[in-house]
Amino acid sequence: MRLLPSDPDIETIVSRIKSGDIDLQPDFQRGEVWSRAKKQRLVDSVLRDWHVPPIHVIEDVQTRKQEVLDGQQRLVAIRDFIDGEFALDGEIEPIDDGLATLHGSKYRDLPEVWKRRFNQFTIRLFRIVDYRPGEPGELFFRLNQPTSLTGAEQRNAFFGPVRAQIKGLVEALDEMGLGKDFLGFSNSRMAYDDVLSRVALSLERGSLDAKVKSSDLIELYRSEAPLAPETTRLIHESLKLFGDTRDHRSVEMKFNKATLSTWLLFTVRCLMRDYDWMSAETLANFMNYFESARLLGSLQSEQVASLAPSEWLFNVYESRSTARVADVSSVLLRDATLWLVFDDFIAALDGSIARPEIDQLRSAFAQDSSTGQPLEDDSVARRLVENGWGRLA
């Protein structure tokens, strides 16, 4: 099998499609599945003179006609735009001033200079010739093996100030020895970048009561504005405090992305509240206490027990750490569990440390316990928002 490259322009390719020289719908191809938004992004890329992946066609040795092996959806999008099936979206980020003036225009309405720009855009096209029967199918399989990127890997393509800041924090995390052995999971697929970017966005918002969506993180990375210095300082100090617990830990604790985010936000909130008594040793002792209590399913404080049975608390913490981990109620319930257990931990000490101000937290649980009905986690989460517990302060 040989692949012969050429670089025809769009006008030539569309002409060959309409004349039947290029078949967009051979038997092995799927139907036309791209959404309008995806087609508009391809057109946007062409008009910006950006890269479009190559097209692969199989050439019939007798008729010289070509069947599209790979690139069908791209060619359909180009053909449909020229045929007026959809309009240009001039509001795709990052905004291009020239394209913004053309927002809503169909191909026939474009100024001649833009039509020419579109028509003269070249796409690398590989003609597949001299092939044995099974070779094109094998190539198609290899070209289309799943290569989906994680959200963090996609955001890593935005070369802005936020990307650099998050990378700096991940490097600091590594230098502090907070790797797989300490945390329980590695930075495979940029997992640490994902956790720290979510923590950073929550701090930028000053709240936990809004869902951190993938689109929100993309906007954060896409922005030309860096994270606030206070945001990066708090995360860095939280990581350092976390790392310094190593010498004081007696109970092994492993994290996943959800629980690491919750523990970092807990530590950050302690720093924001100026708990100067929150040393690495105190934090380590609390981590030991929390993990022991979780494994045993018991707490010491009667006040906490009157608000929420320990078994219920830890069941919610665990279930909300493995499912629906990104929704607001899961984030708030994990955070609330940590603080209630922390209150229990402080109460069990000799009284030298003042108990934290968490009346908003207690009242969210008390309203359920006062009814005598079983606690409902979503109801508690809703009252946590209403009581203002989601505000980071």
d(CA 32, CA 25): 9
- 136 and 170 fall within a common domain: no
- 319 and 366 fall within a common domain: yes
pLDDT digits (tens, 9 = 90+) for 261-309: 999 999 999 999 888 888 999 999 999 999 998 888 888 767 777 788 8
Between the CA atoms of 25, 27, 33 and 34, what dihedral angle is there, to the nearest 10 degrees?
-50
Helix (H, G, I), strand (E, B) or coil at 179: coil
Last residue of a domain, one of 147, 182, 206: 147
Q: Strands 125-129 and 2-6, how do they pair?
A: antiparallel
Q: Is 392 part of a structural domain of the chain?
A: no
pTM greater than 0.85 (yes/no): no
- 161 and 78 fall within a common domain: no
- 174 and 314 fall within a common domain: yes
- 114 and 251 fall within a common domain: no
Joined tokens for residue 354: 């003042």
Last residue of a domain, one of 147, 178, 205: 147
pLDDT digits (tens, 9 = 90+) for 13-49: 999 999 999 998 765 555 567 899 999 999 999 999 9
Ramachandran sector of residue 388 (left: φ over 0; alpha: ψ -120 to 50; beta: rest): left
- 223 and 326 fall within a common domain: yes
- 361 and 274 fall within a common domain: yes
pLDDT of 383 > 70? The answer is yes
**In the structure, what pLDDT confidence band is assigned to residue 369 with cuts at 50, 70 and 90?**
low
Q: pLDDT: is 124 or 32 the higher one? A: 124
d(CA 328, CA 320): 10
- 187 and 235 fall within a common domain: yes
- 230 and 101 fall within a common domain: no
Residue 133 structural domain: 2-147
- 132 and 167 fall within a common domain: no
- 240 and 338 fall within a common domain: yes
- 62 and 119 fall within a common domain: yes
Last residue of a domain, one of 147, 163, 180: 147
pLDDT of 371 > 80? The answer is no
- Give the per-residue pLDDT at 235: 98
Q: Is 391 part of a structural domain of the chain?
A: no
Q: Which of 13-17, 97-101, 380-384 has the lowest mean pLDDT?
A: 380-384
The pLDDT mean for the chain works out to 89
Specify the number of domains making up the chain.
2
